């Protein structure tokens, strides 16, 4: 994968890349929007906790497909209402570490259920083994 921030485009304003080129033959995984619902069916009321759980659900999906967080090339986050930006950045920073996928963050008026404050979808790609 080639992660790039081209000259002539402003520097990223957060921890992301402007573009990622995925080579031919890479294996793709597309995830539906993941919500902050725990495996036991409980949903935290705090939106930042919902982000943590949704990201954990993303990670579990990646694990089930034999991929990792480092394979994410695109992540879209949908938020409803006020979500503490500093806490949000901390959670995403802990999740991604030094990895810088392409990202989009949207504030929306509502999600599929009134109790949902967060939904995150992702695209992942893994290069074919060489040789």
**Has residue 14 been placed in a domain?**
no
Domain count, the chain: 1
Q: Which helix (H) or strand (E) holds 93?
A: helix 85-96
Per the structure block, which two tokens stand in for 113? Answer: 């259920």
Domain of residue 89, residue span = 2-6+26-126
Which of 15-24, 45-54, 92-101 has the lowest average pLDDT?
15-24
Mean pLDDT of 107-117: 96
Q: Is residue 44 part of a domain?
A: yes
By mean pLDDT, which of 40-44, 114-118, 125-129 is the weakest?
125-129
DSSP per position, 34-92? EES--TTS---SSHHHHHHHHHHHHHHHHHHTT--GGGEEEEEEEEES---HHHHHHHH
Tens of pLDDT, residue by residue over 21-50, are 899 999 999 999 999 999 999 999 999 999
pLDDT at 130: 74
| Segment 54-86, tens digit of pLDDT | 999 999 999 999 999 999 999 999 999 989 999
Query: How far apart, in Å, are the Cα atoms of 79 and each of 35, 42, 71?
Result: 11, 19, 23
pLDDT of 131 over the 70 cut:
no
Domain assignment present for 88: yes
pLDDT band at 118 (very low <50, low <70, confident <90, very high): very high
Residues 25 and 63: their CA atoms lie apart, in Å, by 21
Q: Flag whether 115 is in a domain.
A: yes
Q: Is the pLDDT of residue 129 over 90?
A: no
| CATH code for the domain in which residue 53 is found | 3.30.1330.40
47 found inside a domain: yes
112 pLDDT tier (thresholds 50, 70, 90): very high
Does the residue 72 lie in any domain? Answer: yes
Distance between CA atoms of residues 24 and 117, nearest Å: 36
Q: Is residue 66 one of the residues assigned to a domain?
A: yes
């Amino acid at each position: 994968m080639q992660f790039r921030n081209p000259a002539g485009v402003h520097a990223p304003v957060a921890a992301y890349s402007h573009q990622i080129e995925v080579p031919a033959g890479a294996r793709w995984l597309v995830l539906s929007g993941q919500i902050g619902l725990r495996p036991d069916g409980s949903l935290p009321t705090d939106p930042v906790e919902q982000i943590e759980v949704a990201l954990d659900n993303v990670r579990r999906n990646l694990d089930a497909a034999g991929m990792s967080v480092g394979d994410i090339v695109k992540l879209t986050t949908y938020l409803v209402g006020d979500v503490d930006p500093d806490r949000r950045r901390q959670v995403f920073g802990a999740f991604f570490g030094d990895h810088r996928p392409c990202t989009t963050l949207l504030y929306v008026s509502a999600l599929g259920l009134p109790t949902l404050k967060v939904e995150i979808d992702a695209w992942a790609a893994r290069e074919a083994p060489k040789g």
